Every structure is written in C-alpha cells, then in structure tokens.
C-alpha cells in the first residue's frame, strides 16, 4: 500500500505512485508496512483502514452486505414517511 506522505522524507506521494518523487524510496526500500506504521506512530494492528473501507463500501460477507442494504432501505423509507407527513 502506498502512503500519502513518504515516511522517509515527508514528501507528498501522488495517488497510485509506486515510488517517492522526492527521495525515490519505494515499497522495497522505504515504506514497508512497518516503516509506514512507525513513521506515523500508529499502534500496530489497531485500525485496518483497508478493511474498514472494504466493510463500508462494497466488501464484507454476504450477510454484512444484506444488513447494510436494509439499513439504507430503512433510512430511505423513514425519509419518505417524513416527507409525506411534513409536506405542506
């Protein structure tokens, strides 16, 4: 995974870039997962952002997907009822 900021020199990494444009570090030499985590002073394994994204936007088990869909259906129905009753 590519960090937003180079853990080696602190330069901004363009989205999708494989190598730091400033210092040339890459996954092999510079921003291994360990380097990235320690560079940001994050506790290990505390929060998996990729897993969070996958869970919230499209990933997850079929059961989780179904639950998420029903949650949205419920929200839409509630909004519809609200509009129906409050519409002048």
Q: Which residues bind Zn ion (CB under 5 A)?
A: 6, 8-9, 11, 20, 22-23, 25
Minimum CB separation of residue 75 from Zn ion in Å reads 43
Residue located via tokens 């994050």: 42
Cβ proximity to Zn ion, 25 vs 36, nearer residue: 25
Cβ proximity to Zn ion, 23 vs 37, nearer residue: 23
Minimum CB separation of residue 24 from Zn ion in Å reads 7
Cβ proximity to Zn ion, 37 vs 55, nearer residue: 37
Q: How far is Cα 62 from Cα 41, in angstroms, rounded to an integer?
A: 35
Minimum CB separation of residue 44 from Zn ion in Å reads 23
Q: How far is Cα 55 from Cα 34, in angstroms, rounded to an integer?
A: 23
**54: which residues sit within 8 A by CB, 6+ positions away?**
60
Q: How far is Cα 10 from Cα 8, in angstroms, rounded to an integer?
A: 6
């Amino acid at each position: 995974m590519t960090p937003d900021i180079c853990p080696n020199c602190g330069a901004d990494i363009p989205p999708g870039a494989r190598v730091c444009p400033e210092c040339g570090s890459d996954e092999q030499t510079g921003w291994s997962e360990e380097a990235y985590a320690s560079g940001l002073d994050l506790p290990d394994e505390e929060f998996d952002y990729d897993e969070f994204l996958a869970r919230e936007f499209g990933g997850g088990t079929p059961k989780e997907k179904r639950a998420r869909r029903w949650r949205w259906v419920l929200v839409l129905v509630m909004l519809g009822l609200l509009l129906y009753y409050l519409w002048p």
